[in-house]
Structure 1
């Protein structure tokens, strides 16, 4: 396995490559490609952190835990709530900040704070010719070339190998509460979450579990901020959602037999409901209003809704062709656990042509991860 420890070494390894490279960060996900493994795990360290400017710069292989610990010391956090799917996927390794960018990971706070790419303000990466490319900035007031920064986020290492990433960060919340409504079916749950998200009460999490820890459906709404503001907004939202049933306000410590706010949202973020189970796991992005129909048509063994219904996690028997079951549903279905071809959604012809042209520009030798496969 190739393991560069500097950007210069990385560039030289890419220039010297005689065949495909399978690019990976900390090895926590199934990565497509049969080429020689190249890991960024040797490119570590926070190179710039200015809490007052809300900016952080780190080498791509820096463990996520290192980044989060540094931020926590200053009462700050990454806005996009990166998940840890190692248990779900049955993998080991160490999640890295570069891997988060490559996959554009986005947890429950995406409904308010946006995706990983929305917090990304700069990147450095090595393209398929071994050229180091810098785009964006290291502080928010000096951001240029933003479109290329966004292009690299979510490209799964298909355009180049990340060496450094720059982020805007945000203060951590002083208080966090969840509003819980039990017993709703998927249709009513989506209506409830939509009402909460459309309210002026700054909801930053909205999820629904058709089968909760005690077997009862539970809908979860999260509010964060200063103590007085959270208390006020939670009371207002509790009244607003009362037509859907009894609304219980849960604080950080949680209720007897429950997970508590922090653990509960980590449970949603990491799709822990599917851990230790058999079968394929699919991630479906669509309009929240389409979620009830998607769950019904999928015939899944288990489901979980996040982003107010805009993200649907489904567990299905191994080898199930989910796209055939759903037909044209106006969204994207990605298999995140399972084997065989077709893990990524097919691209329309026009988009495929554009993608091919972009890849040819950044990776003319075809060294890096394909955007198809497992």
Structure 2
């Protein structure tokens, strides 16, 4: 184990035993620990007040990769970019298409780790078809807030009996345990892809086009809508200013061609349809995934809204009438990215609007540290669910030493 001496001490465990020892010392002293990989997602959640940080940056490396079995295990601090490059070289990919929060928070791209992706349950545009990180985790090794090493799951897909701790830790933001090693499933990458682009649709028209595409036989793997001017902020401006509705189709070459042609003929009733080649399509969806339209070098609040797809455009319209906002849609409208142009989060307005249109979840994913400290960053849980979360925290981390306040 190594240690950096600074205003906040950073501890670098190099083994699972080191993690256990660090947590045990924190429990004994009842001193909180901030848990991180490389810190690329430190801007998510409420600020953690801790004098010591447990960094997993040196807990890196792939420990198992069996391409024929579609399974990979790696230490929690392994860069996700390194894993994606490895599986790509074997004709495979991570189906949940994990997003990179770094650029949105003013950091360089490609710094995220496997542990961070799983801890935050990240996913990209393919989420609407293939699920989030949680659906691709097969097993974990971790150290609880009791300083106890445990493992859950294994190396095969059907290996769940009783409570699945792997799923429980996914999305817990490091508040339940420190993951040391994670096993995930990988899948063959598609031979090719294309994106159909409809131009100039209103948000309401785009909602209809995306719903029709998702309900078709085209097996759509991505459906997003970039309103006017937002479209110009992706793919180095290649789309121009007009609104762009994006429908992605991927798979085996001849199948992609046939499905795209069939769906394109149907969409021509709505508007002119353009086709992107595979390279342009991949670049475009990477920018949508990483919220590039809002990568502006500021800390203006950005919300991630999970809502009913058919109500998304109504929610955005209502908010536009009450506040200065910018927005675009992913997951057929089930995911809305919202930027507050005034610099105020206006959490009460955002959440009241969601309730008025049938509910949903609003998560503040970018804001200054002072704003995050004073705002309910995550959607407040109903009483029964909050009670369950509290009991789970009591079981895993009774002294509250792991990322205290991160989700509270």
Query: Structure 1 length normalisation: TM-score?
Result: 0.95
Q: Distance in 2 between matches of 1:294 and 1:217?
A: 18
Aligned to 2:115: 98
Aligned to 1:226: 252
* Superposed displacement of residue 12, structure 1: 0.9
**1:29-88 alpha-carbon deviations (Å, 9 max, x no partner):** 125311121111111111110000000011100011110111011000011001112111
* Superposed displacement of residue 201, structure 1: 1.3
* Superposed displacement of residue 142, structure 1: 4.2
**1:113-142 alpha-carbon deviations (Å, 9 max, x no partner):** 111100111111110011011000023354
- For the structure 1 residues 144 and 122, does the alpha-carbon distance in structure 2 shift closer, same or farther, using more than 3 Å as the test? farther
Aligned to 1:266: 286
Is the Cα contact below 8 Å between 2:49 and 2:404 reproduced in 1? no
Aligned to 1:240: 266
Is 1:34 equivalent to 2:49 in the alignment? yes
RMSD: 1.6
- For the structure 1 residues 111 and 102, does the alpha-carbon distance in structure 2 shift closer, same or farther, using more than 3 Å as the test? same
* Superposed displacement of residue 320, structure 1: 2.9
Is the Cα contact below 8 Å between 1:285 and 1:331 reproduced in 2? yes
- For the structure 1 residues 231 and 338, does the alpha-carbon distance in structure 2 shift closer, same or farther, using more than 3 Å as the test? same
Aligned to 1:138: 155
Aligned to 1:257: none
Q: Distance in 2 between matches of 1:159 and 1:108?
A: 28
1:24 pairs, out of 19, 36, 43, with 36
* Superposed displacement of residue 240, structure 1: 2.1
Is the Cα contact below 8 Å between 2:21 and 2:147 reproduced in 1? yes
Where structure 1 has 5 or more consecutive residues not aligned to the other structure, the ranges are: 254-259
Aligned to 1:364: 398
Q: Distance in 1 between matches of 2:93 and 2:148?
A: 32
- For the structure 1 residues 96 and 297, does the alpha-carbon distance in structure 2 shift closer, same or farther, using more than 3 Å as the test? same
Where structure 2 has 5 or more consecutive residues not aligned to the other structure, the ranges are: 1-9, 233-239
Aligned to 2:3: none
Aligned to 2:236: none
* Superposed displacement of residue 273, structure 1: 0.6
Aligned to 2:315: 294
Aligned to 1:304: 328
The number of residue pairs the alignment matches comes to 368
Is the Cα contact below 8 Å between 1:136 and 1:146 reproduced in 2? no
